[in-house]
Amino acid sequence: MNFIETFKTAIIGITTNKSRSALTILGIVIGIGAVIAMMSLGQGAKSLIIGQIASFGSNNIFIEPGTWDPKKGGDIVQSAIEGMELTTLKYEDALAIEKDPLVELAAPIVFGVERVIYKNIDKKISFKGQTPAASKIDEVYPILGRDLNNNDVKTMAKVVVLGYKVKENLFGDENPLGKKIRIKKTNFRVIGVMEERGTQAFMNFDEMIYVPITTAQKLLMGIDHVRWILAQAKNEKVMNEAIENIRLILRERHNIHNPENDLSRDDFKVMSEKETTKIVSTVTSVLTIFLSLVAAIALVVGGIGIMNIMLVSVTERTREIGLRKAVGAREKDILTQFLLEAVTLTILGGFVGVVLGVMFSFATSQILSGLLNMEWHFVISLFTIILSFGVAAGIGLAFGIYPARKAAKLNPIEALRYE
């Protein structure tokens, strides 16, 4: 019996009971679809995050409070768990960093959310406390009025620059310059409106208001520390040297003499855009693999379902197997037939799963793009699709071999007697 005839026989076996065949492949469909969706969405998230980080510029340096030490359970992770806010970075640290000859700019930054009132409009709006250096690093400039200046920071001026959408929401077509808005029971004078910028590094610049960092610290937040410092090296060539200089400056200012010692280690983290991208890439890749493996559990369940149904099929078709053996069918022919049935079922389930997974991933990427106001890339690689079909076929072979061997080993005389 040649392969084509065996394959035709296998197809007849599958199509004889269409409903049962459809239910049999359901686990495979769900498993393959889930794996495709997880891998696609994971790659999309990775692409989005890396793109957002890269938008800050290749010569920018991020300085955060706390130490991220995976071996020792670093402060950043521990504080996030405990709900603590790290307070080791100060405004003066940024001033010291900016004096380094390899550093072009250094901007201390704080964030918060406060009630903003103008006439009968009362909204909760994100605010960003910063120095003039922040706008230069972010490359966001006013289209109306002026930006914050050093004197505003020095005098803790009660002035505010509006994001593009904030201006529209509060003032509409009205000229906001010189008008006063109320932030946390304090009147602030509007001095400017930022250009429309959209979302960058997961911050929607258009929906923020900007105040002098000293004003934000004292009047709005009641703190003396900063959330982070964003620095800019003179150029990419001196990035590594600039980062090392920043570490030395902060260690000296924070009295850290032996950063390897647990009791007096670095209380800050300095990273370049490339280092941040590398960390994010690793984390998202591991997360994608983990989620895909979790989704793959459905494939194992589907494989067990295939095996159970094939065993039932062998039992139901015992007389048919005995008759075929009686007229000359070899064990190899029976084995091949039932293996082909199992593999065909799983590949069919894999095809349906790929189609559903692609459709779900595309729809989800479109929804997320709208919700986040950022482009969530729809990513499906040919390798992923080929791998899915390979896995489906492998499951068919792995879980179909036992029923196929059982069918092949049936004694034809006993099989013909089976009622």
Confidence of residue 79 (pLDDT cuts 50, 70, 90): very low
Burial grade of 353 (CB within 10 A; 0-12, 13-18, 19 or more) = buried
Under 8 Å between Cβ of 216 and 126? no
Burial grade of 404 (CB within 10 A; 0-12, 13-18, 19 or more) = buried
Residue 170: predicted pLDDT: 94
- Domain shared by 112 and 223, yes or no: yes
Residue numbers of the domain that contains 30: 3-52+278-417
Residue 105: predicted pLDDT: 93
Residue 262: predicted pLDDT: 45
CB proximity list for 278: less than 8 A, separation 6 or greater? none
Residue 80: predicted pLDDT: 43
- Domain shared by 44 and 93, yes or no: no
Residue 83: predicted pLDDT: 44
Q: Which tokens belong to 28? A: 């495979």
DSSP category for residue 208? E
Domain boundary among 253, 268, 296: 253
CB proximity list for 79: less than 8 A, separation 6 or greater? 66, 85, 86
Q: Which tokens belong to 35? A: 């794996």
Residues 133, 153: Cα–Cα separation, whole Å: 11
Q: For the chain, what is the mean pLDDT?
A: 83
Residue 108: predicted pLDDT: 96
DSSP category for residue 174? S
- For residue 141, the surrounding DSSP H or E stretch is none
Higher pLDDT, 27 or 160: 160
Domain membership flag for residue 273: no
pLDDT average, residue stretch 375-385: 82
Residues 402, 381: Cα–Cα separation, whole Å: 33
Residue 75: predicted pLDDT: 45
pLDDT more than 70, % of the chain: 86
Residue 377: predicted pLDDT: 78
- Domain shared by 111 and 241, yes or no: yes
Residue 72, pLDDT above cutoff 50:
no
pLDDT average, residue stretch 148-167: 96
- Domain shared by 245 and 295, yes or no: no
Residues 94-125 have pLDDT tens digits of 999 999 999 999 999 999 999 999 999 999 99
- Domain shared by 124 and 162, yes or no: yes
Helical residues (DSSP H) of 142-271, grouped into ranges = 150-154, 164-171, 213-215, 239-253
Per DSSP, what are the bridge partners of residue 202? Answer: none
Domain membership flag for residue 71: no
Q: Which tokens belong to 250? A: 């902060």
- Full-model pTM: 0.66
CB proximity list for 306: less than 8 A, separation 6 or greater? 24, 25, 27, 28, 342, 345, 346, 395, 396, 399, 400
CB atoms within 10 A of CB 19: 7
pLDDT average, residue stretch 362-367: 88
Per DSSP, what are the bridge partners of residue 142? Answer: 194
Domain membership flag for residue 267: no
Domain membership flag for residue 361: yes
Residue 292, pLDDT above cutoff 80:
no
Domain membership flag for residue 139: yes
- Domain shared by 154 and 189, yes or no: yes
Q: Which tokens belong to 199? A: 């979302």
Given CA atoms 183, 188, 190, 196 in this order, what sign does their dihedral have? negative
Report the residue count for the chain.
Answer: 419
Under 8 Å between Cβ of 237 and 24? no
Domain membership flag for residue 97: yes
Residue 306: predicted pLDDT: 86
- Domain shared by 336 and 388, yes or no: yes
Residues 32, 346: Cα–Cα separation, whole Å: 10
Residue 295, pLDDT above cutoff 80:
no
Q: Which tokens belong to 338? A: 């039932």
- Domain shared by 239 and 292, yes or no: no
Residue 192, pLDDT above cutoff 50:
yes
Higher pLDDT, 172 or 79: 172
Query: Picking from 78-87, 311-320, 354-363, 372-381, which range would have the lowest pLDDT averaged per residue?
Result: 78-87
Residue 310, pLDDT above cutoff 90:
no
- Domain shared by 168 and 210, yes or no: yes
Domain membership flag for residue 223: yes
Residue 92, pLDDT above cutoff 90:
yes
Domain membership flag for residue 238: yes
Query: Picking from 160-169, 283-292, 360-369, 394-403, which range would have the lowest pLDDT averaged per residue?
Result: 283-292
Residue 419: predicted pLDDT: 57
Residue 91: predicted pLDDT: 94
pLDDT average, residue stretch 82-100: 83
Query: Picking from 70-74, 133-137, 286-290, which range would have the lowest pLDDT averaged per residue?
Result: 70-74
Residue 275: predicted pLDDT: 72
Residue 325, pLDDT above cutoff 50:
yes
- Domain shared by 296 and 227, yes or no: no
Residues 9-65 have pLDDT tens digits of 667 666 677 777 777 788 888 888 888 888 888 888 877 777 766 666 678 898 988
Higher pLDDT, 18 or 137: 137
Domains held by the chain: number: 2
For residue 133, CA distances in Å to 98, 115, 129, 164, 394 come to 10, 26, 12, 19, 58
Under 8 Å between Cβ of 332 and 408? yes
Residues 225, 65: Cα–Cα separation, whole Å: 10
- Domain shared by 155 and 102, yes or no: yes
Confidence of residue 130 (pLDDT cuts 50, 70, 90): very high
pLDDT average, residue stretch 232-246: 90
pLDDT average, residue stretch 315-344: 83
- Domain shared by 110 and 188, yes or no: yes
